[in-house]
Amino acid sequence: MQFKYLLSKEDIIDHITLKEYKYDILDVNILDINIKTLIIKPIINNSLYEMQPIVLESIDTIKYLMEKLWIAQSNNGYYIDEKNISLKNQVVFSKIIESVKYHCPSNLLDVGYANRSFYDFLKKNELNPKYIGVDILDFNYDDFETIQANANALPFDKNSFDLINMSLLLLNSIDPFSIINEAGKALKKNGMLLITDINSKYYKASGVYIKKLDEWEFIKVIETEDIFFTIKTLGRRKFFFHAFHEFNLYRKILESLNFLVLEDKEFGLTEEIIRPIYSKKIIKSFSRDLKYPSFHFLKSQKII
């Protein structure tokens, strides 16, 4: 499968709907890697703003940077906002828990298990399949089996698992095909693959962000027919690469790999969910986030 991204200055400028702006192209150095970067400065009410930087690189460089920078970023400390985590867990894991209850897998592989929150959520729901967590980083917990591995090269025999979970994992990869393909090998026949990721509509609605205070708000959407690739930046020196893919693309990949899609749903935060957790002022600032459901869930079954 060929992926096409728009990464030239001209392509990006063509996508910008702003009436008035200036731009610079800079070499930004992160972890000794020089990244050619486009910075667009919109002029709004006679003031010059800075938008988040947009990387102008080849897909190969971006693949390399995504892995390197993701690991460097994560090892610098996992930023955990307790409120956000509990809120996110409650919402993201709701669909997965429903499926685990329904299918009663004897074993479950969680790819990108990170801060163990899904494991703890299973326990809270009194669900006890044999749980194995894989992550490219080594978190190493004692109460379940953890394996440090890349999702695109899983160290398991074919036909090993009843259920594989990937929540908020594919957004860290530029190549979802190879990850879904690996999961397909590790799953048993009739095994279930659950993918929960950010809803692409939600990000598209968010559009192009403008720098606020000393943080870069986080997204630039570069769009093609059925994929879009985004680059997230947290602070000027901390790039954080994300590749958000259209769920149509996941569907196409799944169907090409002999999966049957059983469920395909958008879901997410509602005002009702956040009301007990956040103040009115914060909820108001969420309005853009509440325009579309923030997550998307795909349940599919390996049929061959």
Ligand X SMILES: C[S@@+](CC[C@H](N)C(=O)[O-])C[C@H]1O[C@@H](n2cnc3c(N)ncnc32)[C@H](O)[C@@H]1O
Residues at the contact surface with ligand X, assessed by CB under 6 A:
70, 74, 92, 112-114, 117-118, 134-137, 150-152, 167-169, 172-173
| Two tokens, residue 195 | 């993918």
CB of 71 vs ligand X, minimal distance in Å: 7
Nearer to ligand X, 167 or 199 (CB): 167
Which two three-digit tokens encode residue 291? 């325009």
Of the pair 118, 203, the CB lying nearest ligand X is at: 118
Name the residue nearer to ligand X (CB basis): 51 or 297: 297
Q: How far is the CB of 173 from ligand X (least distance, A)?
A: 5
DSSP bridge partners of 131 = 108
Nearest to 55 by CA among 27, 77, 14: 27
| CA 165 – CA 185 distance, rounded (Å) | 14
The residue (of 139 and 286) whose beta carbon lies closer to ligand X is 139
User: Distance (Å, rounded) from C-alpha 89 to C-alpha 93?
Assistant: 5
Contact at 8 Å (CB) between 268 and 199? yes
Kindly state the smallest distance separating residue 42's Cβ from ligand X, in Å: 30
The nearer residue to ligand X, 85 or 303, going by C-beta atoms, is: 85
Q: Which one, 148 or 248, has the nearer CB to ligand X? A: 148
In the complex, the smallest distance separating the C-beta of residue 75 from ligand X, rounded to whole angstroms, is: 10
Identify which of 33, 76, 26, 71 has the alpha carbon closest to the alpha carbon of residue 52. Answer: 26
Token digits of residue 32: 């000794």
CB of 111 to ligand X, least distance (A): 6
Q: How far is the CB of 74 from ligand X (least distance, A)?
A: 6
In contact, 107 and 93? CB cutoff 8 Å = no
CA distance linking residue 151 with residue 164, whole number of Å: 11
Using CB atoms, what's the residue nearest to ligand X?
112
